Amino acid sequence: MYYTYINSKALFTVSLPTLQQFDCFADSSSIGIQWEKFIKRFEIWLIAMNIITDKWACVLLLTFAGEHVQDVFETLPNTGVDANYDCAIVALNTHFIPKRDAEFEVF
Flag whether 87 is in a domain: yes
Question: What total of structural domains would you count in the chain?
Answer: 1
In this structure, is residue 53 part of a structural domain?
A: yes
Q: Please indicate, yes or no, if residue 9 is contained in any of the structural domains.
A: no
Asked if residue 10 is part of any domain, the answer here is no
Answer whether residue 71 is part of any domain. Answer: yes
Contact 44, 30 (CB under 8 A): no
11 is a domain residue? no
Instruction: Please tell me the predicted confidence (pLDDT) of residue 35.
Output: 96
Q: Are 65 and 74 in contact (CB under 8 A)?
A: no
pLDDT 10s digits, 17-46: 778 899 988 888 899 999 999 999 999 999
pTM: 0.77
Q: Which domain holds residue 73?
A: 21-96
Residue 65 resides in a domain: yes
The reported pLDDT for the residue numbered 106 is: 57
Q: Is the pLDDT of residue 1 over 60?
A: no
